[in-house]
Amino acid sequence: MLIAGNWKMYAGPDPSALADRLAGIRGVDVVVCPPFMRLVATVEAGLTTYAQNVHWEEEGAFTGEISAKMLKAHGVAGSLVGHSERRQHFGETDETVARRTKAALAAGLAVIACVGETQEERDAGDTETVIRIQTEAIRDVAHGHAKVAVAYEPVWAIGTGRIATPETAQEAHALIKTIVDVRVLYGGSVKPENAEELLSQPDVDGALVGGASLEIESFASICETATRIRS
């Protein structure tokens, strides 16, 4: 079970206080994905730290990007790739997600690659097609890789308070696992109140937590729920 906290463009909680609160968590992999300016602080606090993005080149004229080599030099263990907000606002494509994934893995970083459909795609009956295309884009480099997880994040459920039903999440996760053999996380308004029913689904291997990861007790509660379910 893997629980990842995506702090997005928020400073997030105090890293040392969060590390102290999570110290007793056992049997669950816990990572945090802070903004770039807090990466060093979370690493130094002893938290397993992922970046929110990583480029496919080691260096070059790529303003605003960061390389896997740079992240590793500061003790960062992995990165998110292809989050829906990167796809929506910054032109991320299936091709660039695959390139980022390949480069990160080649450098020894772990990857959480994000896939998921918009409300319009779901309404049009294209959910399976979208998930399949996005997942197949990384299959060649990700299949069976111990350092890869896929996060299914229905775009219509991110930051909206809406969540996929446990049955909907399970269906999507099962589909992803027919395409690529990795852990699959659910992401989309995960909170302490709904974590248990989502994490109890047989093909849900964890969660990518957004807003609820910004509060120490909220995030710790989700981690404790995951521990209880897998014990």
pLDDT in tens, 113-135: 999 998 888 889 999 999 999 99
Residues taking part in catalysis: 83, 153
- Contacts with 97 (C-beta within 8 Å, 6 or more apart), sequence order: 81, 82, 87, 113, 134, 137, 138
84: nearest Cα among 44, 42, 124, 114 = 114
Q: Whose structure tokens read 């049997």?
A: 27
Domains in the chain: how many in total? 1
What CA–CA distance (Å, rounded) separates 109 from 101?
Answer: 9
What CA–CA distance (Å, rounded) separates 141 from 101?
Answer: 7
What CA–CA distance (Å, rounded) separates 99 from 93?
Answer: 10
Helices (H), 143-183: 166-179
131: nearest Cα among 158, 166, 171 = 171
**Domain range enclosing 97:** 2-230
Both structure tokens of 62: 């790529």
User: What percent of the chain shows pLDDT beyond 90?
Assistant: 88
What CA–CA distance (Å, rounded) separates 70 from 55?
Answer: 10
Cβ pair 183, 204 in contact under 8 A: no
pLDDT per position as a tens digit, 51-106: 999 999 999 999 999 999 999 999 999 999 999 999 999 999 999 999 999 999 99
Cβ pair 54, 66 in contact under 8 A: yes
pLDDT, residue 160, reads 67
Three-state secondary-structure class, residue 87:
helix
Q: What is the pTM of this model?
A: 0.95
Cβ pair 12, 215 in contact under 8 A: no
CATH label of the domain that carries residue 161:
3.20.20.70
pLDDT, residue 118, reads 87
Mapped to the 3 state alphabet, what secondary structure does 46-62 carry?
Answer: CCCEEECCCECCCCCCC
Both structure tokens of 184: 């699959």
